[in-house]
């Protein structure tokens, strides 16, 4: 039995379908009941055909000219919106027509999106420069891109086992595929002989899941041989660079050694010449007995100079292992100061001052005394034996540690900038009798104490040295 009209209306409303009668003479639509919401803006005072999208008007006109039932899809203007509708047309016995309109805009939109996505995927698969394939849940080829076809041949419906491949390759792919089918993400690097040449591949097989279930495998196989080759080339040039650098360092070391040998030879030849001269004069008997003590003094002085050079050189080059134990700095500084004034014969003309104190510093007594004596000696020599030399000891709170700070000031002539730049290099000297080793020794010893040495010098205003040494806990 047919449902009563009211029930039919409710049913149609539930389906979101709009049912209308089309008057053939006027072409106007009359709703057969309440219309669904999506037809709200429909202009019922205009003929139906005028509301149909212009491109679809010919086919709709044709459909309306035939009798019987038919369904067609076309565009429809509802207010300012162009929707896509599926219209079923039925002729009634009274000569009018009933139209049932259903909105299919969203479905059509989805279908178009799917088509676009599919086309995009196919293009991507075809143009990707590496092998790309999909296996079904039995490990059979479902899809291959042209690169994969070129590599494995057309494999649709077959497993790796059935392909014409070397056994080792087959086994490797089968193993990876079965691990991926078990849900594992497989990624590995393999090398194969391709056309007699070894090539490297980065293989990856990933499970394709539908929810929790693995329904297939997505395989990607990239030829990374060029990458590997450039990596090897890079490694090769790096090791070449290292070798060149080593050779350079060695050459520099030899150059430094050569320079040192030349300076030492020069320094030794001068006193040796004076000694040889004095001896020769005495041997030839051309020296009066009263002049002889003078010659003996030359010999003694020059011998002392040679001895000093050898001692300085040894201090500089000999690798010393320091024994550091916490001691106060002040007695050490006092000793070094006294010793310097005495050896430089400057006790009367140079006034000295030693003030302040600092906590004990881990130090090697002999080595650090030698370093400070070098700084004091330089100051006394710079002041030409007369002036003021002050030494201040204090504590400095650094960011990470405490320092004992020794500040040494002289009233000498200061240093020109060309000397300043190379001051710590061995054999840099401006003194006729200097070896240029003093400051090289100072820096070496201070660094062995994990300390720092800095200076400030203004020509005409004297020089200030600051030595910082870490205070022991």
Ligand X SMILES: Nc1ncnc2c1ncn2[C@@H]1O[C@H](COP(=O)(O)OP(=O)(O)OP(=O)(O)O)[C@@H](O)[C@H]1O
Which residues here bind ligand X, judged by CB under 6 A?
312, 374, 378-379, 382, 410, 412, 415, 419, 423, 428-431, 434-439, 463
Phi/psi at 319 (5° precision): -75, 115
Instruction: Work out how close the CB of 439 gets to ligand X at its nearest, in angstroms, rounded to a whole number.
Output: 3
Told to check if 411 binds Mg ion by CB under 5 A, we report no
Binding residues for Mg ion, total number by CB under 5 A = 2
Residue whose tokens read 């497993």? 159
DSSP string for residues in 252-299: HHHHHHHHHHHHHHHHHHHHHHHHHHHHHHHHTT-S-TTTHHHHHHHH
Extract the runs of DSSP E, i.e. beta strands, from 62-163. 70-78, 81-91, 97-103, 131-136, 141-144
Instruction: Work out how close the CB of 311 gets to ligand X at its nearest, in angstroms, rounded to a whole number.
Output: 11
Closer residue to Mg ion in complex, CB, 209/304:
304
Closer residue to ligand X in complex, CB, 212/421:
421
**Could you give the angle at the alpha carbon of 13 between the alpha carbons of 7 and 17, nearest 5°?**
120
Closer residue to Mg ion in complex, CB, 297/431:
431
Instruction: Work out how close the CB of 333 gets to ligand X at its nearest, in angstroms, rounded to a whole number.
Output: 16
Told to check if 18 binds Mg ion by CB under 5 A, we report no
Scanning 131-139, 395-403, 410-418, 435-443 for contacts with Mg ion by CB under 5 A, the matching segment is 435-443
Q: Is 63 exposed, middle or buried (0-12, 13-18, 19+ CB in 10 A)?
A: middle
379 binds, among ligand X, Mg ion, none (CB under 5 to 8 A by kind): ligand X
Closer residue to ligand X in complex, CB, 412/451:
412
Closer residue to ligand X in complex, CB, 103/312:
312
Told to check if 412 binds Mg ion by CB under 5 A, we report no
Which one, of 353, 300, 141, 132, lies nearest residue 222 by Cα? Answer: 132
Residue 207: strand, helix, or coil: strand
> Could you tell me the two tokens for 131?
């092998």
Which one, of 467, 445, 471, lies nearest residue 455 by Cα? Answer: 467
Q: How far is 172 from 174, CA to CA, in rounded Å?
A: 6
431 binds, among ligand X, Mg ion, none (CB under 5 to 8 A by kind): ligand X
Instruction: Work out how close the CB of 454 gets to ligand X at its nearest, in angstroms, rounded to a whole number.
Output: 13
328 binds, among Mg ion, ligand X, none (CB under 5 to 8 A by kind): none
271 binds, among Mg ion, ligand X, none (CB under 5 to 8 A by kind): none
Instruction: Work out how close the CB of 451 gets to ligand X at its nearest, in angstroms, rounded to a whole number.
Output: 18
Q: How far is 322 from 316, CA to CA, in rounded Å?
A: 14
User: C-alpha distances in angstroms, 89 versus 22, 60, 76, 283, 349?
Assistant: 10, 10, 15, 144, 127
Instruction: Work out how close the CB of 315 gets to ligand X at its nearest, in angstroms, rounded to a whole number.
Output: 10
Scanning 308-316, 322-330, 399-407, 431-439 for contacts with Mg ion by CB under 5 A, the matching segment is 431-439
Contact (Cβ atoms closer than 8 angstroms) between residue 462 and residue 409: yes
139 binds, among ligand X, Mg ion, none (CB under 5 to 8 A by kind): none
What residues from 381 to 400 belong to the interface with Mg ion (CB under 5 A)? none
Closer residue to Mg ion in complex, CB, 168/314:
314
Contact (Cβ atoms closer than 8 angstroms) between residue 423 and residue 465: no
Q: Which of 438, 445, 467, 468 binds Mg ion (CB under 5 A)?
A: 438
Scanning 174-182, 222-230, 365-373, 433-441 for contacts with Mg ion by CB under 5 A, the matching segment is 433-441
Closer residue to ligand X in complex, CB, 220/346:
346
Told to check if 378 binds Mg ion by CB under 5 A, we report yes
The b/e string for 154-192 (b: 16+ C-beta within 10 A; e otherwise) is ebeeebbeebebeeebbebbeebbeebbeeeebeeeeee
Q: How far is 133 from 122, CA to CA, in rounded Å?
A: 12
Told to check if 436 binds Mg ion by CB under 5 A, we report no
Closer residue to Mg ion in complex, CB, 378/463:
378
Instruction: Work out how close the CB of 289 gets to Mg ion at its nearest, in angstroms, rounded to a whole number.
Output: 39
Instruction: Work out how close the CB of 355 gets to ligand X at its nearest, in angstroms, rounded to a whole number.
Output: 19
Scanning 129-137, 151-159, 290-298, 374-382 for contacts with Mg ion by CB under 5 A, the matching segment is 374-382
Q: Is 346 exposed, middle or buried (0-12, 13-18, 19+ CB in 10 A)?
A: buried
Instruction: Work out how close the CB of 265 gets to ligand X at its nearest, in angstroms, rounded to a whole number.
Output: 16
Task: Give the list of residues 6+ apart from residue 140 with CB closer than 8 angstroms, or none.
Answer: 157, 158, 159
> Could you tell me the two tokens for 294?
């003078």
Question: How is the beta sheet containing 141-144 ordered, strand by strand?
Answer: 141-144, 131-136, 213-223, 197-210, 186-194
Told to check if 367 binds Mg ion by CB under 5 A, we report no
By Cβ distance, which residue is nearest to ligand X? 438
Closer residue to Mg ion in complex, CB, 65/432:
432
Scanning 29-37, 255-263, 375-383, 460-468 for contacts with Mg ion by CB under 5 A, the matching segment is 375-383
Closer residue to ligand X in complex, CB, 78/423:
423
User: Could you list the residues that contact Mg ion (CB under 5 A)?
Assistant: 378, 438
């Amino acid at each position: 039995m047919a449902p009563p009209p009211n029930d039919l209306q409710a049913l149609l409303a539930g389906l979101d379908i709009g049912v209308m009668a089309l008057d053939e003479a006027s072409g106007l639509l009359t709703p057969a009941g309440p219309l669904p919401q999506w037809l709200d803006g429909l202009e019922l005072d205009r003929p139906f055909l005028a509301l149909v999208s212009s491109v679809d008007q010919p086919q709709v006109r044709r459909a309306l000219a035939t009798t019987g039932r038919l369904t067609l899809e076309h565009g429809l203007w509802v207010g300012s919106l162009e929707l896509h509708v599926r219209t079923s047309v039925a002729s009634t016995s009274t000569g009018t027509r009933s139209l049932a309109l259903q909105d299919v805009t969203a479905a059509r939109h989805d279908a178009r999106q799917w088509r676009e996505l599919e086309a995009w995927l196919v293009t991507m698969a075809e143009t990707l420069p590496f092998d790309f394939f999909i296996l079904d849940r039995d490990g059979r080829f479902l899809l291959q891109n042209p690169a994969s076809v070129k590599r494995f041949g057309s494999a649709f419906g077959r497993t790796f086992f059935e392909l014409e491949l070397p056994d080792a390759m087959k086994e490797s792919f089968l193993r990876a595929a079965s691990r991926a089918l078990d849900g594992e993400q497989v990624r590995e690097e393999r090398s194969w002989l391709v056309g007699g040449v070894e090539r490297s591949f980065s293989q990856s097989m990933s499970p394709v899941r539908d929810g929790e279930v693995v329904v297939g495998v997505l395989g990607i196989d990239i030829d990374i041989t060029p990458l590997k080759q450039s990596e090897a080339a890079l490694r090769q040039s790096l090791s070449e660079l290292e070798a060149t650098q080593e050779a350079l360092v060695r050459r520099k070391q030899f150059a430094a050694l050569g320079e040192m040998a030349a300076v030492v030879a020069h320094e030794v030849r001068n006193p040796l010449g004076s000694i040889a001269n004095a001896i020769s004069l005495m041997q030839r008997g051309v020296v009066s007995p009263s002049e002889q003590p003078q010659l003996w003094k030359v010999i003694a002085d020059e011998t002392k100079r040679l001895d000093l050079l050898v001692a300085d050189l040894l201090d500089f080059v000999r690798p010393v292992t320091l024994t550091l134990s916490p001691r106060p700095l002040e007695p050490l500084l006092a000793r070094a100061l006294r010793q310097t004034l005495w050896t430089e014969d400057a006790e009367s003309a140079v006034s000295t001052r030693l003030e302040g104190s600092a906590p004990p510093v881990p130090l090697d007594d002999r080595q650090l005394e030698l370093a400070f004596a070098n700084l004091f000696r330089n100051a006394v020599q710079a002041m030409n034996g007369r002036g003021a030399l002050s030494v201040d000891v204090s504590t400095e709170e650094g960011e990470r540690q405490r320092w004992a700070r020794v500040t040494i000031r002289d009233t000498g002539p200061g240093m020109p900038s060309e000397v300043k730049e190379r001051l710590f290099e061995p054999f840099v000297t401006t003194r006729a009798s200097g070896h240029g080793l003093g400051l090289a020794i100072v820096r070496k010893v201070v660094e062995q104490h994990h300390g720092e040495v800095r200076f400030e010098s203004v020509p005409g205003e004297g020089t200030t040295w600051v030595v910082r040494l870490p205070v022991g806990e």
